[in-house]
């Protein structure tokens, strides 16, 4: 009986590729690598050009600028964007907004106007919710006036509190005069104990109550995403003050009347960070927007 001899597995040897084909593959690989490299370099060049003013400032080539308290990498990155936007919008009007978080502001220093950009208007937090009052409101309101700044007051809206009581809290606290900015409703959060429809109804009640008292349509302040997701469709016709601090957002949009583009600016006369805003127009345009009668 014949033995079952196992068959040997003979490995199939791959035929070497023709030299011409191999050379073609190598060339294609080199082209792909070069294309990726070129794309990356182009992106870097484009970003550098886009933020050229901020980069020049950051590197110290612009000695007419002044920066204080740059002790953290985050501040350096923030300043890169701040000075780029300031350089880009020289024709616009700059302002800040403050609350008790800024502590005791040295209004005389701010009035001397020796900052990186001139400050022409200030939004001041007056109230929060149905009974909250900013502890620095009176001091800031008076200081802004003595410094010759255009001033405006805003209310921080608490979504789960009664809207009419919140409006009355603002009205009792804030006395506006000719030359002031319209009142501002600051809404940033969704409610915990009510629906979005209830929130929107409450916001409308606040806006109507305040407009009825002062005789001027209020401004709505919110973050860009919050406004777009929850408010845009039902609150058309109001002037907008939009917050967007994204490093990739470096242009003011046509529909934004005010743009809060950073919360990390260093301003002479204020300890710590402060928000900076741009009015989307000229000083003449801003003055036309102020309260003319009450």
- Domain definitions of the chain by residue range: 91-289
Q: What is the reported pLDDT for 51? A: 45
Alpha-helical (H) ranges within 149-236 are 163-173, 196-214, 224-226
Q: What is the reported pLDDT for 136? A: 97
| Residues 52, 249, 284: CA angle, nearest 5 degrees | 85
Asked if residue 292 lies in contact with residue 180, where contact means CB atoms within 8 angstroms, the answer is: no
In the set 68, 108, 188, 255, the catalytic residue is: 188
Neighbours of 47 (CB within 10 A): 12
Q: What is the reported pLDDT for 185? A: 98
Q: What is the reported pLDDT for 68? A: 42
Let me know if domain 91-289 sits in CATH 3.30.1300.10.
Answer: no
| Residues 102, 135, 171: CA angle, nearest 5 degrees | 115
Active site residue 197: no
Residue 246: how many CA atoms within 13 Å on its side-chain side? 10
Active site residue 97: yes
pLDDT in tens, the chain (294 residues): 455 545 545 445 555 556 555 556 667 667 666 666 666 655 555 544 444 443 433 333 232 333 344 445 666 677 788 888 988 898 899 999 999 999 999 998 888 766 667 899 999 999 999 999 999 999 999 999 998 899 999 999 999 999 999 999 999 999 999 999 999 999 999 999 989 999 999 999 999 999 999 999 999 999 999 999 999 999 999 999 999 988 787 789 999 999 999 998 888 899 889 999 999 999 999 999 999 977
Rounded Cα distance, 196 and 205, in Å: 14
Residue 26: how many CA atoms within 13 Å on its side-chain side? 7
Q: Are strands 121-128 and 93-98 parallel, antiparallel or unpaired?
A: parallel
Distance of CA 26 to the CA centre of its chain: 48
Q: What is the reported pLDDT for 158? A: 97
Q: Is 24 helix (H, G, I), strand (E, B) or coil?
A: helix
In the set 79, 84, 87, 97, the catalytic residue is: 97
Q: What is the reported pLDDT for 84? A: 87
Q: What is the reported pLDDT for 16? A: 57
Q: What is the reported pLDDT for 26? A: 64
Q: What is the reported pLDDT for 69? A: 46
Asked if residue 28 lies in contact with residue 55, where contact means CB atoms within 8 angstroms, the answer is: no
Q: What is the reported pLDDT for 49? A: 45
Cα-based distances in Å from 144 to 106, 266, 293: 10, 18, 20
Rounded Cα distance, 159 and 192, in Å: 8
């Amino acid at each position: 009986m014949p033995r079952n001899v196992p068959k040997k597995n003979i490995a199939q040897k791959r035929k070497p590729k023709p030299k011409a084909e191999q050379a073609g593959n190598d060339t294609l690989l080199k082209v792909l690598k070069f294309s990726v490299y070129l794309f990356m370099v182009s992106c870097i060049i484009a970003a550098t050009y886009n933020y050229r003013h901020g980069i020049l400032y950051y590197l110290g080539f612009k000695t007419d600028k002044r920066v204080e308290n740059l002790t953290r990498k985050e501040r350096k990155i923030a300043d890169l964007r701040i000075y780029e936007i300031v350089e880009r919008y020289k024709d616009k009007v700059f302002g800040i907004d403050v609350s008790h978080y800024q502590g005791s502001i040295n209004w005389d220093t701010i009035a001397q106007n020796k900052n990186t950009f001139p400050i022409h208007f200030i939004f001041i937090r007056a109230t929060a919710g149905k009974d909250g009052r900013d502890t620095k409101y009176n001091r800031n309101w008076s200081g802004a006036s003595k410094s010759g700044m255009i001033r405006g007051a805003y209310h921080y809206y608490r979504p789960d509190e009664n809207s009419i009581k919140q409006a009355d809290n603002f009205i009792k606290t804030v006395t506006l005069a000719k030359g002031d900015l319209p009142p501002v409703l600051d809404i940033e959060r969704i409610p915990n104990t009510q629906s979005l429809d209830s929130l929107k109804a409450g916001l409308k009640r606040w806006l109507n109550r305040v407009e009825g008292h002062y005789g001027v349509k209020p401004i709505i302040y919110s973050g860009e995403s919050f406004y777009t997701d929850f408010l845009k469709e039902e609150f058309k016709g109001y002037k907008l003050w939009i917050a967007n601090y994204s490093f990739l957002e470096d242009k003011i949009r046509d529909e934004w009347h005010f743009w809060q583009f950073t919360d990390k600016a260093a301003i002479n006369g204020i300890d710590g960070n402060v928000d900076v805003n741009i009015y989307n127009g000229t000083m003449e345009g801003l003055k036309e927007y102020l309260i003319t009668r009450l």
